[in-house]
Amino acid sequence: MTTIDYSSPIGKVLRKCPTGIQGLDEVTFGGLPLGRTALVCGAAGCGKTLLAMQFLVNGAMLYDEPGVFMSFEENETELAENFASLGVDLNALVLQKKISLDYVHLDKSEIAETGEYDLDGLFIRLDYAISSTGAKRVVLDTIEALFAGLSNVLILRAELRRLFRWLKDRGVTTIVTGEQGSGTLTRHGIEEYVSDCVILLDHKVVDQISTRRLRIAKYRGSAHGTNEYPFLIDEQGICIMPITSVGLNASTSTARISSGVGRLDTMLGGQGFYVGSSILISGTAGTGKTSLAASTVDAACRRGERCLYFAFEESRSQIVRNMKSIGIDLEQWISQGILQFHASRPTLFGLEMHLVSMYKKVNEFKSQIVVLDPISNLTASGNFADVKLMITRMLDFLKNQNITLLLLDLSSVNSIEQTGIGISSLTDTWITLRDIELNGERNRGLYLLKSRGMAHSNQIREFVLTDHGIELLDVYTGPEGILTGSARYAQVEKEKTQRLVRQQEIERKRREIDRKRQQMEATIAKLKVAFEAEKDELEKTIIQEEAQVRIQDNNREQLAIMRKADDMEQPYSWDGK
């Protein structure tokens, strides 16, 4: 179940007894000191008995180590009821001899003290319980009740010292609980007898919100986490989140996932987000942050990935209904069990508790995508620094698990490029949704401010919610500036008209050319006709002239004949031949 790291630079190290309590074994690097006594102390109602009970139950059920629960405060019936709240049937465990219960009743009014005594009776009872079950674990809850029942403190202190020595000698791992005193760890100072391990539980209330914390105040012979770790008590008992500061050594993935919006993927280097990256979606109210996150979730569920949606503002059904209006059906994924919603007001409990409960749910659900909607609301249960710290821890935790995280942040109008809690530098991708106000209307613009490790677009896109999801449109950029919405539409129309007019102009000019050509051709034809006419005339005169020439020649011959001129065969020639 739990891996125990025995490795240490020094040869033989303290052996440990795993508690099986989520997170506690990590914080203590393996569990409680084996065969020794640990003191769990804290104020009333901070979970001491529960921790001790879980230690025993886990021992009996997970590690096959029977245990003895010696209670000085609650009787067997009450204890069985308490265990039942953890889903454990105590009576069955008792019947199987895995747990032995012993209720020590002590009432000062029934007891008179005369002379010397010791607590052998207690030792014998404990010894009998241990040997009859073969117990390896013992809980004494809370031994300080002895101080209320017996008045001889000197005897009592000596006997307690003997008891802890004796328990150590028996080799059982023991938890003793103690109520916190003023200025001391426990009311009667029993911490001075328990020197091996001291665990402090605390229940702080800050601004009316309570947070449970656990701290290892002392762990002799072992390294341990020294911070105050927040913890959660729920139906499975105690859960501690040991992630105050994890090293920045998460392995990174080069795999990519779609954002669910085609054009956004294109903007993100063509492939979408990196798996395991953290994505910040910020924007003013009503800019569509939830819709964008829902698209991504929808796309992930479509791929069969498991998603967890932590909503701090809207209820599950409200988100589902609203997303349906833009054509995203989240209900189907919920019923298939791959999408889980957890809606709670941030003020339900402190930040730490939110963190622990998220940690727990992420672990249980094994989700691949986590959405926090919105983180800015968390400041309702903590100040900015606390929220930032919490988000950092959540981020580190998810990064280590290679889980993609979507953070939604409501930014204020006057500081849009600045998240309320200053975490933008921690995230890998930052998308801002912004209202672009123009001509008396608001339209949504999507800006990709940064996206580590990919060549991303620097273009502003208009973000339009349609009844079939999100669409990104190019914004109009032209001589008249950036236009969106109906202004963009109007501008596009205007340009269309302008183009039409120009087209017509061109057509007109083309026709003009045609006409000119026709004109020209007509003129040519006319000239041709005139030319032909003149030509005919001239040719006619030429023929006439020629005819006249011929007639003249004929006439000459005739004359010659008549004159009985020389050989007719020899034409007249001027050279006398």
When the beta carbons of 111 and 559 are compared against another protein, the nearer one is: 111
CB of 113 to another protein, least distance (A): 5
CB of 228 to another protein, least distance (A): 36
CB of 69 to another protein, least distance (A): 14
CB of 184 to another protein, least distance (A): 24
When the beta carbons of 107 and 467 are compared against another protein, the nearer one is: 107
Q: With 0-12 CB in 10 A as exposed, 13-18 as middle and 19+ as buried, what is 137?
A: buried
- Closest among 22, 112, 31, 101 to 66, alpha carbons compared: 101
Question: What is the DSSP secondary-structure string of 119-163?
Answer: -HHHHHHHHHHHHHHT-SEEEEETTTHHHHH---HHHHHHHHHHH
When the beta carbons of 70 and 375 are compared against another protein, the nearer one is: 70
CA-based angle 275:277:281, to the nearest 5? 120
Question: What is the DSSP secondary-structure string of 61-72?
Answer: HTS---EEEEES
Strand blocks (E) in 284-361? 307-311, 339-343
When the beta carbons of 118 and 566 are compared against another protein, the nearer one is: 118
- Closest among 272, 264, 268, 273 to 291, alpha carbons compared: 264
Secondary structure (3-state) at 92: helix
Tell me the window of 143-151, 243-251, 282-290, 369-377 that interacts with another protein (CB under 8 A).
143-151
- List the interface residues with another protein, window 303-342 (CB under 8 A): none
**Distance between CA atoms of residues 101 and 3, nearest Å:** 29
When the beta carbons of 106 and 464 are compared against another protein, the nearer one is: 106
For helices 289-302 and 316-324, angle between their N-to-C axes, nearest 10 degrees = 90
- Strand pairing class (197-206; 37-42): parallel
The DSSP bridge partners found for residue 430 are 280, 450
From residue 61 to residue 100, the character string flagging contacts with another protein as x (rule: CB under 8 A) and all else as - is ----------------------------------------
When the beta carbons of 115 and 479 are compared against another protein, the nearer one is: 115
CB of 66 to another protein, least distance (A): 17
- Closest among 249, 295, 255 to 271, alpha carbons compared: 255
CB of 143 to another protein, least distance (A): 11
- List the interface residues with another protein, window 96-135 (CB under 8 A): 102, 104-106, 110-122, 124-125, 127-128
CB of 106 to another protein, least distance (A): 7
When the beta carbons of 177 and 368 are compared against another protein, the nearer one is: 177
CB of 99 to another protein, least distance (A): 16
Residue in the structure block whose two tokens are 């986590």: 370
CB of 145 to another protein, least distance (A): 10
When the beta carbons of 109 and 208 are compared against another protein, the nearer one is: 109
Count of residues in contact with another protein, rule CB under 8 A: 24
Backbone angles phi, psi at 549, to 5 degrees: -60, -45
From residue 146 to residue 185, the character string flagging contacts with another protein as x (rule: CB under 8 A) and all else as - is x--xx-----------------------------------
CB 138 within 8 A of CB 174: yes
Tell me the window of 142-150, 191-199, 228-236, 464-472 that interacts with another protein (CB under 8 A).
142-150
CB of 116 to another protein, least distance (A): 5
Question: What is the DSSP secondary-structure string of 187-227?
Answer: TT-GGGT--SEEEEEEEEEETTEEEEEEEEEEETTS----S
CB of 120 to another protein, least distance (A): 4
CB of 110 to another protein, least distance (A): 5
When the beta carbons of 123 and 365 are compared against another protein, the nearer one is: 123
When the beta carbons of 109 and 458 are compared against another protein, the nearer one is: 109
Tell me the window of 144-152, 268-276, 372-380, 476-484 that interacts with another protein (CB under 8 A).
144-152
The alpha carbon of residue 330 and the mean position of all alpha carbons in its chain are separated, in whole angstroms, by 17
Give me 390's structure tokens. 């919490």
- Closest among 473, 470, 466 to 298, alpha carbons compared: 470
When the beta carbons of 6 and 117 are compared against another protein, the nearer one is: 117
CB 304 within 8 A of CB 336: no
- Closest among 463, 435, 428 to 449, alpha carbons compared: 428
When the beta carbons of 101 and 487 are compared against another protein, the nearer one is: 101
The DSSP bridge partners found for residue 39 are 176, 198
Residues that bind another protein (CB under 8 A): 102, 104-106, 110-122, 124-125, 127-128, 146, 149-150
